[in-house]
Amino acid sequence: MRVYFDNAATTPLDPEVMKEMYKVMENQFGNPSSIHAHGREARTLIERSRKTIAGLLHTSPAEIFFTSSGTEADNTAIRCGIIDHNITHAITSPIEHHAVLHTLEAMEKAGLIKLSLVNIDSKGAVDYDHLETLLKENERSFVSIMHANNEIGTLSDMERIGDLCEAYNAIYHCDTVQTMGHYQHDLSKLKAHFLVCAGHKLHGPKGVGFLHINHKIKIKPFIYGGAQERNMRGGTENIYGIVGLAKALEMAYGEMEQHQNHIQGLKTYMMEQLIANVPGVGFNGETDPDKSLYTVLNVAFPEMEMSDMLLFNLDIAGISASGGSACSSGSDIGSHVLTAIGASSSRPSVRFSFSKYNTKEEVDFVVAKVRELCAVNV
């Protein structure tokens, strides 16, 4: 048996998405920038996809810009949002994805900004009072705080952050890579300037994503070239990927409640079974269903010999998962997220992340294997 519990890294491509993409690959090969019939057909597919996505998110198609990835979208929002608006102060959290953290750190190192890290608690939750203090202390800030952490699943309050940013005239960028297609996002109400999506996190294809840019903010291109994406992103569009992304998001919205209930049930069941079968087990991050991403469960196992081999042993046992431990003192190796929340560096941690395709039988299989490994390594 082989179990895939690493859906936060990437999800399997839905067969219906694959069919939609294959039809395009087979029949529409034109360059969407060409004015002849083949090009117009390709352009129609892109604009139809843009309209589908915008409709699901309650926004205008003019606010959706296709990219190659969530990382590109994050970089575009951060670099262009800061430079084009002459921002000299940025606020983020210490547990952001490296697409955000490394970008902001590079800009600080280049002398473009001063970077402040908002306080978080032991579960990774943002200290909103500290965020407001940082906003008060600076004339205008760029705020980048993700909706759900990709390692521990803790959710931020997007509405509250949006209100704070509006009150202090800050620009708000939110990395929604882990939650797009898993939660409803009503962009007609949300006070965010930038949101980000990566297709492969919601059973769509790799190599495509989008950046939502609120009409209230204007930026220059991050990638220069042709006039693609209304002069905002040079480079011939990935038609197959864009069509697949739109189909995946459309399916996700249509099945969202059903899949939320199923996946949250798996997560809760796995927590119960681990507590019952693995003495000393714990969980990193928030576990309250209202405050935690339902697709992610970060498990802190008891101290054991050769703890650094746990993921390898899980792989040998037929289980695909990811994780590690907090960084040891003086070492950069390990999880910056677990280090930031004060997790023990001596306890191995594993992120199990679920999708609509996972089952209770797979949870039982994983718990049984984990129990064996922990018993062997004590």
Task: Please give the positions annotated as active site.
Answer: 327
Separation between Cα atoms, residue 9 and residue 14, nearest integer Å: 16
Q: Where are the alpha helices (DSSP H) in the chain?
A: 15-27, 37-57, 70-75, 81-83, 98-109, 128-137, 158-167, 228-231, 239-254, 256-277, 310-316, 336-340, 360-377
Cα separation values, 41 from 47, 63, 90, 168, Å: 10, 22, 42, 45
Residue 157 makes CB contacts below 8 A (sequence gap 6+) with 126, 128
What 8-state DSSP symbol labels residue 327?
P
Beta bridge partners of residue 99, listed in sequence order: none
User: What are 254-261's contacts with CB under 8 Å, separation 24+?
Assistant: 255/356, 256/181, 256/182, 256/183, 256/184, 259/182, 259/356, 260/182, 260/294
Residue 361 makes CB contacts below 8 A (sequence gap 6+) with none
Residue 133 makes CB contacts below 8 A (sequence gap 6+) with none
Separation between Cα atoms, residue 334 and residue 269, nearest integer Å: 28
Q: Pick from 352, 344, 249, 235: which is nearest to 297 by CA? A: 352
Residue with tokens 């199923």: 262
Q: Pick from 308, 313, 314, 312: which is nearest to 326 by CA? A: 308
